Amino acid sequence: MNNTDTSHFEVVHPGILTTFQDLGRFGQSHLGLTSGGPADKQAYLWANRLLNNSENCPILEVNFGGLKLIAKTSTTIAVTGANAPLTINGHAKETWRSHQVNADDLIEIGYASEGCRIYLAVFEGFLVEPQFNSVATVIREKVGGTKGTAVAVGELLFYKQTPKQTLYALKAKDIPRYTDPLTVQVVIGYQHALFERGELAKFFSNEYQVSAQCDRMGYRINGPAIQSGISQLLSEGICKGAIQIPPDGQPIILSVDRQTIGGYPKLGSVLSLDLDLLMQSSQGAKIHFEPISIHCAHTRLHLAKAKYQKTKLIKVDQ
Amino acid sequence: MPQLVHYPRIEVAGEDALIIYLDKVANSATIKKIAQLKNNIANTLGDYVVELVPSYASLLVIFDPLKTDYFAVKKVLRTLLTANTTEMASSQKIIELPVYYSPESGPDLKTLATSAGLSIEDVIKIHQQTIYQVFAIGFAPGFAFLGEVDERIACARLTSPRAKVPKGSVGIADRQTAIYPNESPGGWNLIGLCPQTLFNPNVPPYLTYQVGDNVKFKAITQAEFLELGGEL
């Protein structure tokens, strides 16, 4: 870090779990390192885009809320993701837009009421030393962020001091909604052909509920048990969104902090666009699954990208 | 159960991933083939590839679905699978790792010996006789799965895993052995401690071994263990 970059936020309260994230850590699976990255990539991307940042700019992922920061110099921030109260010096502010903050401003993010992960970006990104080409914090691996841990009280979060910027907002119609129940699409794959048809039909026609075991590594969901009929499987690479069926039949959907390899049978993987929404859900949320082909998945990804690029931000006043 | 057992086989894993199953079992020939395939895929697909994850008898290929698509990637994988590529020189290097075997450093050594009907000395001797191969790296950063352990000392995982396994612990689970690179929870049977740091995230090359490497263990005394920086 450069000596001139002394602008920072001081953490007054870190919230339940706040970590630095960028797009993720790739090409390190030979060391057993997972990707990390934002649990909800769409909300993450919007936060950076509202500030005209590049896509890989380090930002804060605030899980559940409860973050309090004091700005030591002026900058511009943007807050997206879960619906949580944002205040600056006690004044309510809208999320899904950028805000000018001045020296000594107190920024508070309350607890989320719809969704559970909030993204706070700062103009040109936080200044964090990357590890294995990424700042993405994976606490289980003690890698990324600052010392591989969550943001702590009293910590200083550095950024570049910048002149005033034009402020932008996302139109209300373009803001994602985090609904319950949620239907997620699943690309059929891995060992799906070894499952009995009836077991797959059970999975795709019943309602499941997010259990208490849900975090950035994966979501265990409860519902009718699925039998894979596969007793032994060599450990193999796990992609993001993979749906594991352990012996008790309660599926586990693996996410950004997943292990790189594992030996449970899998029936496919949740589409990334829907995994973003699933990662905003919490214990008790109702989930339905819908099978799609990989061709259909690619169409959805291209359409989503085109829509993202065509969506225009609106200029807003302070 | 329906059977789908022809090899090699390419399956969809997710929207951005295909998995190649090379064989039903892992052995040194398969591991070698996977390493070669991994190189060829990286060279052919370049920045279309996001991640390549080899493990036992499979290779997961994660690609960027906005730069390329499933058809293109699958076509390349098929071609590379059937191509007569020149064999890579296989790694002849044997990595020798010191281990302080004792009930003091390996709390499961006694139980393992008893259930195997062997003496502690025999277990230690048998564990050192095999030249192991790294089948996969994962579970935790730098955690290498080594196989195959001699059947006489193979042992099922603990029924209830330990919350804390010390750094450097040498464990056995079924026909695999491994060293815990850092303190972590774990359910393997612990038989000793290795004083050497295997994974250092701050200094390249970060990790002592890679998939396909050969590993051998050498018994050391408590004094040697402490001299090498080991902690009890």
CATH number at residue B108: 2.40.100.10
Q: Which residue has the higher pLDDT, B184 or A47?
A: A47
* A14 & A163 share domain: yes
The residues, ordered by sequence, that sit 6+ positions from A42 with a Cβ below 8 Å of its Cβ are A176, A273, A276, A308
What is the predicted pLDDT for the residue at B93?
A: 81
Token code pair at residue A168:
């932008």
What is the predicted pLDDT for the residue at B89?
A: 60
Nearest CA in chain B to A306: B66
Mean predicted confidence (pLDDT) in A263-287? 97
* B100 & B74 share domain: no
What is the predicted pLDDT for the residue at B185?
A: 86
* B219 & B114 share domain: yes
Contact between A266 and A195 (Cβ < 8 Å): no
Q: Are strands B214-219 and B94-101 parallel, antiparallel or unpaired?
A: parallel
Token code pair at residue A28:
């390190």
Q: Report the b/e string of A17-29 with b at 16+ CB within 10 A.
A: bbbbbbbbbbbbb
Select from A25, A26, A28, A31 the residue whose CB has the most chain B CBs within 10 Å, as the one to mutate to test that interface: A31
CA distance B24 to chain A (A): 8
Compute the residue count for chain A. 318
What is the amino acid identity at position A236? E
Token code pair at residue B89:
């020189």
Token code pair at residue A293:
């082909």
Name B22's bridge partners: none
Contact between A36 and A144 (Cβ < 8 Å): yes
* A216 & A121 share domain: no
* A101 & A118 share domain: yes
What is the predicted pLDDT for the residue at A255?
A: 98
CA distance A318 to chain B (A): 36
Report the candidate in A315, A297, A316, A272 with the shortest Cα–Cα distance to residue A45: A272
Contact between B161 and B187 (Cβ < 8 Å): yes
Q: Chain B contacts of A262, Cβ < 8 Å? A: 138
* B103 & B63 share domain: no
Picking from B35, B59, B82, the residue at the C-terminal end of a domain is B82
Token code pair at residue B158:
């603990």
Residues B137, A30: C-beta atoms closer than 8 Å = yes
CA distance A133 to chain B (A): 12
Which of helix, strand or coil describes residue A3? coil
pTM of the predicted model as reported, rounded to 2 decimal places: 0.93
Any domain includes A68: yes
* B104 & B216 share domain: yes
Question: Which member of B53, B62, B201 has the closest CB to residue A143?
Answer: B201
* A162 & A210 share domain: no
Range of the domain at B202: 94-227
Lookup result for tokens 């799906």: A192
Q: Chain B contacts of A35, Cβ < 8 Å? A: 51
Question: Which member of B11, B65, B137 has the closest CB to residue A32?
Answer: B137
Picking from B54, B82, B110, the residue at the C-terminal end of a domain is B82
Contact between A149 and A139 (Cβ < 8 Å): yes
Any domain includes A208: yes
pLDDT average per 10 residues of sequence, chain B (232 residues): 73 98 90 92 96 96 96 96 69 89 97 97 98 93 94 92 94 95 92 96 91 95 97 91
CA distance B139 to B188: 13
What is the predicted pLDDT for the residue at A197?
A: 95
Select from A29, A55, A292 the residue whose CB has the most chain B CBs within 10 Å, as the one to mutate to test that interface: A29
What is the predicted pLDDT for the residue at B6?
A: 86
What is the predicted pLDDT for the residue at A230?
A: 84
* A20 & A152 share domain: yes
Other Cβ atoms closer than 10 A to B3: 7
Q: Are strands B49-55 and B58-63 parallel, antiparallel or unpaired?
A: antiparallel
What is the predicted pLDDT for the residue at B227?
A: 97
Query: How many domains does chain A contain in total?
Result: 2
CA distance B131 to chain A (A): 21
Between the alpha carbon of residue B148 and those of residues A17, A140, A151, B26, B132, the distances in Å are 41, 28, 42, 10, 6
* B108 & B222 share domain: yes
CA distance B168 to B161: 17
Nearest CA in chain A to B62: A239
What is the predicted pLDDT for the residue at A2?
A: 47
Residues A297, B65: C-beta atoms closer than 8 Å = yes
CB pairs under 8 A between A and B: 137
CA distance A37 to B50: 14
What is the predicted pLDDT for the residue at A156?
A: 97
Q: The domain spanning residue A198 has which CATH number?
A: 2.40.100.10
Angle between helices B109-116 and B120-129 (to 10 degrees): 90
Report the candidate in B220, B117, B119, B118 with the shortest Cα–Cα distance to residue B170: B220
What is the predicted pLDDT for the residue at A1?
A: 47
Nearest CA in chain A to B199: A31
CA distance B226 to B208: 20
Contact between A42 and B148 (Cβ < 8 Å): no
What is the predicted pLDDT for the residue at B86?
A: 59
What is the amino acid identity at position B75? K
Question: Which member of A32, A230, A302 has the closest CB to residue B141?
Answer: A32
Range of the domain at A199: 182-307
ipTM attached to this prediction = 0.95
Per-residue pLDDT band for A98 (boundaries 50, 70, 90) equals very high
Other Cβ atoms closer than 10 A to B35: 19
Nearest CA in chain A to B137: A32
- Return the percentage of chain A with pLDDT > 90, whole number: 93
Q: Which residue has the higher pLDDT, A162 or A300?
A: A300
Question: Which member of A26, A140, A272 has the closest CB to residue B15?
Answer: A272
What is the predicted pLDDT for the residue at B84?
A: 63
* B70 & B176 share domain: no
Question: Which member of A27, A30, A236 has the closest CB to residue B210?
Answer: A30
Any domain includes B232: no
pLDDT beyond 70 at A12:
yes
* B170 & B223 share domain: yes
* A27 & A144 share domain: yes
pLDDT beyond 60 at A311:
yes
Q: Chain A contacts of B140, Cβ < 8 Å? A: 32, 140-141
Contact between A102 and A7 (Cβ < 8 Å): no
Nearest CA in chain A to B206: A31
Q: What is the pLDDT of residues A139-172, one digit of tens each?
A: 999 999 999 999 999 999 999 988 899 999 999 9
Contact between A295 and A273 (Cβ < 8 Å): no
* B150 & B70 share domain: no
Name B107's bridge partners: none
Please classify residue B1 by burial: count the beta carbons closer than 10 Å to its beta carbon, then call 0-12 exposed, 13-18 middle and 19+ buried. Answer: exposed
Q: Report the b/e string of B114-149 with b at 16+ CB within 10 A.
A: eebebebeebbebbeebebbbbbbbbbbbbbbbbbb
Please classify residue A291 by burial: count the beta carbons closer than 10 Å to its beta carbon, then call 0-12 exposed, 13-18 middle and 19+ buried. Answer: middle
Residues A237, B137: C-beta atoms closer than 8 Å = no
Angle at CA of residue A222, ends B16 and A141, nearest 5°: 55
